[in-house]
Each structure stands twice: as structure tokens, then as C-alpha cells.
Structure 1
Amino acid sequence: MAKVLLAGESWITATTEYKGCDSFTNTKLEIGCSALLGSLRQQGHTVTHLLAHDVPEKFPWTKGELDQYDVVLLSDIGSNSLALSDDVFAKGIPSVNRMNLLKQWVEAGGSLMMAGGYLSFAGFEGKAHYHGTPIEDILPVQIQPCDDRIEAPEGLRPKPVEANAITDGLGEFPPILGYQKLIAKNESKTLMTVESDPLLVVGNPKKGRTLAYATDIAPHWASRDFMDWQHYGRFFSRCIDWLSGSISE
């Protein structure tokens, strides 16, 4: 089973309540990947979760640190968090470009997955901003330079394109409530679509493996039916298995 580093998929909310003449503010750390973490661990994978606010300082700085993992999963964490460490942003000191480091690690045999969300791929108002970065170079998809979201409140069902080891035997996929409009690269392989757009795409940059999943692993784009689906954990475990080389397409 694989050792996985999941970076992102958490946020801090600040709420101000007004009660007559008085008000007070409270903050809360929220974790969006609890179900995924539990499911992957239940399937036998070892998963380390790096909270979004820790990514700028604690995401691996060296190849040796990345080598502790078989798969890196970026979920709902924008490129700024990989580029703007405290040394760079607050002190003006040059530092390691973690996107370049991740590209080099993958091309040497590592594995990377990006899952969709408001701070994945291009993201909400283009704020994830992975277009034109070393991460786009190694992903199996082209990323738009602008907001790439397709909101689908009516629900859309993903469909496998052909028989493959990730989706075979899982039956009909539950509906999703949105996704990101990506373009599959010529050398990549699209395993699943939604409408006419690629949803699950895999590729092999040099010696590595990459996987783009253009929708969320949690609400809101992952519908309640999707979260309650009996094969939720099995599907994502197979994605990790493919990335780590345990299964082929």
C-alpha cells in the first residue's frame, strides 16, 4: 500500500455574530477531507495530512523529504501556497521553488494527483493559478488562465470512457455538482468524462505518473450521494494504487 502526502483541503472560517448592541467573532478550523482520509486508511494506505495553512512552511523542501512518500495529492490548495514561503513573502529572501522541485521529483519517478476545487487547477476567479506553472507541465491536462469552474446544481453523472482498472466494476457513478473544465493533453489518457469534458485523466511525465481528477473529493461538488456511495473509498484507493504502480490502466 502507498504512503500518501495530502496537502490542502482545510480552511479557517471567521464568523462575527451581532446580538443587539453587542457582537463577537469566533474562528474555526475545518477539515474537508476527513472522509477521504478515513477511507484511504481503511483501504490500507498511510496518509499524512498537511493542513492548508501549514503548506507554505511545511511542504517538503527537498527531494529527500518527498521521497518519504509514494504519492503527493494536492487538493484545494493554490500555487501561491507552494511559492510564497515566509522567507520569500515577508523577508524577500530567495528560496526553493517547490513547484519546480515537485516537477523534478515526479519526472524522476514520483507520483502526483490533483483533485478539483475552488483552489485547484485555475480555480475560483483563477486564484489557484496553476496555469503556466511547473505543475501544469507534469499534469496530464492543460489548465485555463481564468476561472475554470462549471457549476452543475442539477447534478451530472461521470461516465467511464472505456474499460480501465480504476473505474471497472464500480457501477454507475453518483452525480457531481460541479467540476473544472480542463483539456486533456495529447499524450495523456482520459478514463472518465462528464458531459463531453475530461474528468479523470492520467499521464506519464518521463518516469513518473500523474492523475487529474477535475472535481472535488468532498462537498459541495461531491454530492451527498457521492459521499455516501459504497465505492467512494475504493475509487480513490484505486487512483492511489495506479499512481503508486500497484495497478495499471
Structure 2
Amino acid sequence: MKILFIGESWHIHMIHTKGYDSFTSSRYEEGATFLLDCLKKASVDITYMPAHQVLIEFPTTLQELNQFDSIVISDIGSNTFLLPNKTFYGLEKTPNALNLIKAYVQNGGGLLMIGGYLTFMGIEGKGNWRNSQLAEVLPVEMLAYDDRIECPEGVTPKALLRNHSLLTSINNDWPVFLGYNKVMAKENTETVVDINGDPLIVLGNYQQGKVACFTSDCAPHWGSPQFLQWESYTKLWLNILQAISKTN
């Protein structure tokens, strides 16, 4: 499989105050490193595009996207796709990245959205995917406001379709998660696993393409250490990607 993985990166800016004086520092982090390393070890061909690179490097033609079997969007808001530097700063017309992704799926490509603070609606609704072109494409209905369900006590998923091919070779003893994005599955989709009575893994179709949602995190903080250490961690992601891959 050849995958385009987008998002799961951030810059942190800090103010250190020591009495009268203060100074600033910053650091850059990528949250998907563990997952991407696991997939690479399983011979998945990964092209990783951190969030800030989307603003300047996202493909501008459908032909460029068609080289991938599926696209993964994780913890990155719709604005990053809709406000590239050339448009926001240079006032240039540019191809709409979300229209390109929609067309890519229409023509048989796979799309997976992974949960987080800036996917689905996200914190304070800033992910804003409900009002984007991909709302029609994804297999879930999103809320109109902040959709985070924080579970500091931990919440354990439950397999609803235990015999589904997505759960082949998956340990049914699921680890806890610390939160997720609340969504509703659309008609004619499959909720394979739920969490706290809400969908966790949903599969569907959009025209010729296959789509999926994983409504919690692939990494901390919602993705607990127990999840990353779970014996079925890599296999679960492989099964999801294989299920939506256009080579399937």
C-alpha cells in the first residue's frame, strides 16, 4: 500500500517567567511517529506531510493524489487545507485541496479520518470539518459544536461486529482510551467498534471510493500508553488501511 498521511504535528510556544524576567522558547513535535514507524516496518509505503507543509506543498492536481492507495487525515483542521500560503498571503487563486480529495475518493481512492483536537469538529469547533466538502464524503454525521468527549477515567471500546474482516487477528481485550470525538454513523455504513456507546470505527463508501473514521487518537493523549503497547496496535491500522485501499 502507498499512503499519504497528513497532520499529527504541532509547534509549541512557551513563556518562561522567573520573577521579574521572562523568556520564550519553542519546540516542534510530531505525534504520529510511532504509528508511522509501525506501518513502515509492515512494508507500507508512507508519504508523511506534517500540518505546516500542507500550507505550501499539498498536491494541486488529482493526478498527484491518484498515486496513493489511500489518504489519512489526522488531527489537522479544514482551514489548513483551505488557506494555503499562496491564497492567504499572496491573494492567488489556488486549487481547492478538499475538492481534490473529494474527487480522489469519488474516483476510487480511500480516505481515513483519525480523531483529535482538530479533526471532525474538535476543540471549540475549530476543526470545522462538518462545514467542509468532506462532510459529504465521510461515513459519519458531525456535531455543530465542540465534539470532544474527555474521559480522564478511561473508557474501553467494544467490538460490535466481532466477525468483521476488520477485526481479523485483533485481540478482543481492548485497551482504554482517554477521549474521542462524538459523531453519529450515517445510514448504510458499518460501525464495527463503538466507545462509550458512540462510534469508534466506522466504514462506508462514497461513490467509487471507500471511507473510514477512527474517532479517537492514534497517539497520546487520547491514545493511551496501553493502546500504543497493545499487541494488536499495528494490525488494527493495517486492517483499516487495507479495507479502504483502492487496491483492495
> How does the TM-score come out when normalised to structure 2?
0.95
RMSD over equivalenced CA pairs, Å: 1.3
**1:155 corresponding residue in structure 2:** 154
Distance 1:92 1:156 in 2: 46
* CA deviation vs aligned residue, 1:81-140 (integer Å, no higher than 9, x gap): 000012221233222111111101101011110000000000000000011321111110
Distance 2:246 2:65 in 1: 17
Deviates more, 1:15-24 or 1:198-207: 15-24
Asked if the contact 1:142–1:183 (Cα under 8 Å) also holds between the matched residues in 2, the reply is yes
**2:56 corresponding residue in structure 1:** 57
Task: Name segments (4+ residues, structure 1) moved above 4 Å.
Answer: none
SS of residue in 1 equivalent to 2:223: coil
Distance 1:168 1:181 in 2: 26
Asked if the contact 1:43–1:234 (Cα under 8 Å) also holds between the matched residues in 2, the reply is no
Q: Which runs of 5+ in 2 are unaligned?
A: none
Deviates more, 1:139-148 or 1:22-31: 22-31
SS of residue in 2 equivalent to 1:109: coil
**1:168 corresponding residue in structure 2:** 168
Distance 2:181 2:66 in 1: 30
- Superposition deviation, residue 21 in structure 1: 4.1
Distance 1:195 1:51 in 2: 31
Distance 1:136 1:143 in 2: 8
SS of residue in 1 equivalent to 2:95: coil
Asked if the contact 1:179–1:214 (Cα under 8 Å) also holds between the matched residues in 2, the reply is yes
Distance 2:78 2:246 in 1: 26
Distance 1:135 1:64 in 2: 19
SS of residue in 1 equivalent to 2:165: coil
Asked if the contact 2:169–2:235 (Cα under 8 Å) also holds between the matched residues in 1, the reply is no
**Matched letter for residue 218 of structure 2:** I
Instruction: Please tell me whether residue 39 in structure 1 is matched to residue 38 in structure 2.
Output: yes
Deviates more, 1:141-150 or 1:74-83: 141-150
SS of residue in 2 equivalent to 1:155: strand
Distance 2:50 2:75 in 1: 11
**1:29 corresponding residue in structure 2:** 28
Asked if the contact 1:152–1:178 (Cα under 8 Å) also holds between the matched residues in 2, the reply is yes
> How does the TM-score come out when normalised to structure 1?
0.95
Instruction: Please tell me whether residue 223 in structure 1 is matched to residue 234 in structure 2.
Output: no
Deviates more, 1:137-146 or 1:160-169: 160-169
**2:79 corresponding residue in structure 1:** 80
Asked if the contact 1:78–1:128 (Cα under 8 Å) also holds between the matched residues in 2, the reply is yes
Distance 1:156 1:40 in 2: 26
**Matched letter for residue 116 of structure 1:** G
Distance 1:142 1:77 in 2: 18
Q: Percent identity?
A: 37
Distance 2:48 2:88 in 1: 24
Q: Which runs of 5+ in 1 are unaligned?
A: none
